Amino acid sequence: MKLPLNFPCASLLVLALAAPVAWAKLPPPATPEAKAKAAEAAAKTAWSGKVDAFKLCQAQDRVAAKYRASAAAAGKPVPAAPATPPCADPGPFAFTPPAEAKPIEASGAHSPATTAASPPSTAQPAATTNPTPKAQ
């Protein structure tokens, strides 16, 4: 015995089974506290990257200095060092939260609406204001 299963029923069944999975992947709504915490985490990650770059720069300088010292001690010709910028220390981590941006309506950045001086329509017929006849 064959059960009839047409395409619309099958597609509705697949959508009904996939809907909970789609809803489960939606992120929770962001709260101001969560946004502040994410901004601080992003700043901390950027600072960590700067610290890593600083440590790498120092290590490269130490390796180059040892190479030059060992090459000079062995009597090999040592080429002149290329000019590189000094290693920049990022300092301790300090996070200052960004100032809250007000929406345009609350910030007063838009111009206020002007008061109407006259009504929007007049008593003149359209033929006097627009004398050109309509093309037919």
What does the mean pLDDT of the chain come to? 80
Contact 95, 43 (CB under 8 A): yes
Residue 37 has pLDDT above 60, yes or no: yes
In angstroms, the CA 9 to CA 15 distance is 10
Contact 26, 69 (CB under 8 A): no
Contact 78, 68 (CB under 8 A): yes
Q: Of the segments 2-16, 98-112, 122-136, which one has the largest average pLDDT value?
A: 122-136
Residue 52 has pLDDT above 80, yes or no: yes
Span 92-116, average pLDDT: 71
Candidates 131, 50, 59; CA nearest to 93 is: 50
Least confident of 49-53, 68-72, 79-83: 79-83
What amino acid occupies position 63?
V
In angstroms, the CA 88 to CA 51 distance is 9
> pLDDT tens digits for 13-28?
777 777 777 666 667 7
In angstroms, the CA 62 to CA 87 distance is 12
What amino acid occupies position 19?
A
Span 106-118, average pLDDT: 64
Candidates 19, 18, 13, 20; CA nearest to 3 is: 13
Q: Which residue has the higher pLDDT, 30 or 76?
A: 76
